[in-house]
Amino acid sequence: MTTNEKIQFGCAPIAWTNDDMPELGSENSFEQCISEMALAQYTGTEIGNKYPKNPNTLKRYLEPRNLQVASAWFSAFLTTKPFEETEKEFIAHRDFLYELGAKVIVVSEQGRSIQGNMDTPLFKEKPIFTNEEWDKLISGLHRLGELAGEKDMKIVYHHHMGTGVQTTEEIDRLMENTDPDKVSLLYDTGHLVFSGEDLDGVYQKHQSRIKHIHFKDIREEVLKEVKENNDSFLTGVKKGAFTVPGDGMIDFTPIVRTIYESDYEGWIIVEAEQDPAKANPFEYALMAKKYMDGIIPQKNFV
């Protein structure tokens, strides 16, 4: 495989142990997770709940495996809590990632989110932000972006199923009303397709703002079932709505070509929240890596 040095591939630990449903993969250790990532030839990882909380301790585990920290998720509550509460937690999170060498901080607004509710229908009860909530979100993200900038880092906003920023219209509104110097975008293929959005259209429109990427695939038959049964997001995950690139309904070849022909620099993180008892994490991580290696354009192609 010939890679573009500006783009690196990492893997998310959620396939080994699910942070939202820790019973999924409770038997899998942190050491097994990162060792299998390295064995599948990824060079980066995001951070899960089982990872050591001390940066120096974590480095001692990751460095022998040639793994870098790409980022880690941060839950913001800018629309529902005083800013000071989010600010305090964000600074601690920022400083932790800074010590590990990460350049971006994944931020998702969880005010009124239903993504963690097992019994709330995903498509019927998706939250819709009021104008007042949008104002709080935008001003709060600007302030978080300023805090990230103190460490020469960026926040990348994660559009997500079951939240107030999920659809193309909502992503557009967020990007149009935020300062590009303070707020960047995370581009997640799985959540866009789950929501019914246009993968290429979103990338083309916002590529200058995209500073972090998640690659995951969707099982079309499960997506259909989630809609027909009015399932929750977590029920959809347990049923297997998400899978790795190359195993679902998404043809990644066009979007990979677009990304490599653009000015994107940063991480592409393979991520698929599945039940590891049904989908062996190492086997699926390896499957995804082989698939991606097969469709990444050669340097003389781009």
Phi and psi of 75, rounded to 5°? Answer: -90, 115
pLDDT of residue 29 exceeding 80, the answer is yes
pLDDT of residue 301 exceeding 60, the answer is no
For the chain, what percent of residues have pLDDT higher than 70? 97
Distance CA 281, CA 133 (A): 38
- Give residue 40's pLDDT: 98
Report yes or no on 269 lying in a domain.
Answer: yes
- Give residue 300's pLDDT: 36
Within 8 A by CB and 6+ apart from 173, the residues are 134
Phi and psi of 155, rounded to 5°? Answer: -95, 140
3-state secondary structure of 184: strand
User: Which pair of tokens denotes residue 122?
Assistant: 């995903």
pLDDT of residue 132 exceeding 90, the answer is yes
pLDDT of residue 3 exceeding 70, the answer is no
Angle subtended at Cα 244 by Cα 293 and Cα 175, rounded to the nearest 5 degrees: 95
pLDDT of residue 82 exceeding 60, the answer is yes
Distance CA 232, CA 4 (A): 38
pLDDT of residue 302 exceeding 70, the answer is no
- Give residue 298's pLDDT: 67
- For all residues of the chain together, what is the average pLDDT? 96
pLDDT of residue 39 exceeding 80, the answer is yes
Range 179-200 average pLDDT: 98
Report yes or no on 1 lying in a domain.
Answer: no
| Domain membership of residue 191 as a residue range | 7-301
Report yes or no on 157 lying in a domain.
Answer: yes
Q: How far is CA 146 from the centre of its chain?
A: 21
Residue 1 pLDDT class (50, 70, 90 cuts): very low
Looking from the CA of 296 toward its CB, the CA atoms found within 13 Å total 16
Looking from the CA of 148 toward its CB, the CA atoms found within 13 Å total 26
Beta bridge partners of 157: 107, 185
pLDDT of residue 172 exceeding 90, the answer is yes
For 40-81, the pLDDT digits (tens) are: 999 999 999 999 999 999 999 999 999 999 999 999 999 999
Q: How many residues does the chain have?
A: 302
Kindly provide the b/e burial profile for residues 49-71, where b requires at least 16 CB atoms within 10 angstroms of the residue's own CB. ebbeeebeebbeebeebebbbbb
Report yes or no on 272 lying in a domain.
Answer: yes
Distance CA 90, CA 85 (A): 9
Report yes or no on 2 lying in a domain.
Answer: no
Report yes or no on 116 lying in a domain.
Answer: yes
Which helix or strand (DSSP H or E) is residue 266 part of? strand 266-270
Distance CA 294, CA 85 (A): 45
Residue 297 pLDDT class (50, 70, 90 cuts): confident
Distance CA 275, CA 28 (A): 12
* Residue 261's CATH number: 3.20.20.150
Total structural domains within the chain = 1
